[in-house]
Amino acid sequence: PHAGPVESKNEAAMSEVVPEPRQKPVVPMKPMGINASLLGYIGIDTIIEQMRKKTMKTGFDFNIMVVGQSGLGKSTLVNTLFKSQVSRKSSGWNREEKIPKTVEIKAIGHVIEEGGVKMKLTVIDTPGFGDQINNENCWEPIEKYINEQYEKFLKEEVNIARKKRIPDTRVHCCLYFISPTGHSLRPLDLEFMKHLSKVVNIIPVIAKADTMTLEEKTEFKQRVRKELEVNGIEFYPQKEFDEDLEDKTENDKIRQESMPFAVVGSDKEYQVNGKRVLGRKTPWGIIEVENLNHCEFALLRDFVIRTHLQDLKEVTHNIHYETYRAKRLNGNGGLPPMTVETEENHESNL
């Protein structure tokens, strides 16, 4: 313990040397304490511009699915959101043609460009959903489609020679159209959202909101929120994925006030006070789609496109896709799903 008086010259020399290595790690730390302005401009902030340039070159994918009964204005609303004919009218069947017996899934892709930014938009329509007398399990083909896109992405990802940029067909956002009954949600609505809120970002929307008075609309929105809560249905933005206090505050406001968005869609333009506006003409005036006093379309558009589009993509990738991937790889004994099936597919492609 007290080796002081007994220590030899060598030991004394060593003890003098020992503190030096301890000092060394401190040296790289010094610049951190120095004010960066004294050293001049470094240029770290240019990384944002570098990322912007890269994204501008590659463009990005956004895949939006619309689900709801026929006649709720799904196609019209998507066309209004993107200000172009991106969704064909689902009522595009001839009158002689019958309503599809089962849910069909139609994906239409477009490239939209604005301000030099390219977006490859895919609109996935689900004609025939909820149109039958017996709608039991009619959400199954939709869930199957969503999972197929995850599977497709996973197969590309586990390839040895994988593409630098895997084509993304995963559904980033599902707009679920609720009928403006003013009563409560139908069992079908609850059933669909219960099953699919686990695999995709669901945004509930009250369609054709101009069929309700303002009081009815407010009351219906509150009732829908209550029913979703009672049934334990999590819609987007999900509470557990709020990253910080700022996110939580912003998203709480959306969850408690805006959801479900009561909207009116229209791709027709009218003149109102010398301005051209998108609207619906009624005998008692024009309902302006983008006027917040008339409907919440502008809120929905800002939410989906202007504030949460990137987040919708991230939640899809980091949460829904990861959940699917983990389940799939675990079920496979932890091995990538490179089964005989993929080899057969490969042979059939040759």
- What the chain holds in terms of domains, given with CATH numbers, is 58-332 (3.40.50.300)
State yes or no: pLDDT of 37 exceeds 70: no
Query: For 12-16, 100-104, 116-120, which range has the lowest pLDDT when averaged over its residues?
Result: 12-16
> Percent of the chain beyond pLDDT 70?
79
Calculate mean pLDDT across residues 278-294. Answer: 77
Residue 50 has pLDDT above 80, yes or no: yes
Mean pLDDT lowest for which of 99-103, 255-259, 274-278, 335-339? 335-339
Using one digit for the tens of pLDDT, what is the confidence trace for 68-116? 888 888 888 888 888 777 776 544 445 455 566 678 888 888 888 888 8
Query: Could you give the angle at the alpha carbon of 62 between the alpha carbons of 323 and 44, nearest 5°?
Result: 85
Q: Give 333 or 346, the one with higher predicted confidence.
A: 333
As a whole number of angstroms, the distance between CA 255 and CA 247 comes to 12
CA distance 307 to 301: 9
Handedness of CA 249, 253, 259, 262 (dihedral sign): negative
CA pair distance 163, 36, nearest whole angstrom: 40
pLDDT band at 337 (very low <50, low <70, confident <90, very high): low
CB 223 within 8 A of CB 215: no
157 vs 294, higher pLDDT: 157
Lowest-pLDDT choice from 28-42, 181-195, 324-338: 28-42
Question: Rounded to an integer, what distance in angstroms lies between the CA atom of residue 298 and that of residue 291?
Answer: 7
pTM of the shown model: 0.78
What's the token pair of residue 191?
């059933």
| Per-residue pLDDT tens digits for 168-194 | 999 999 999 999 887 888 889 999 999
CB atoms within 10 A of CB 336: 16
Q: What is the percent of the chain with per-residue pLDDT over 90, rounded to a whole number?
A: 28
Show the DSSP H helices in the chain as ranges: 9-17, 19-23, 26-33, 36-39, 46-58, 74-81, 140-157, 187-196, 214-230, 245-253, 297-301, 309-315, 322-331, 340-349
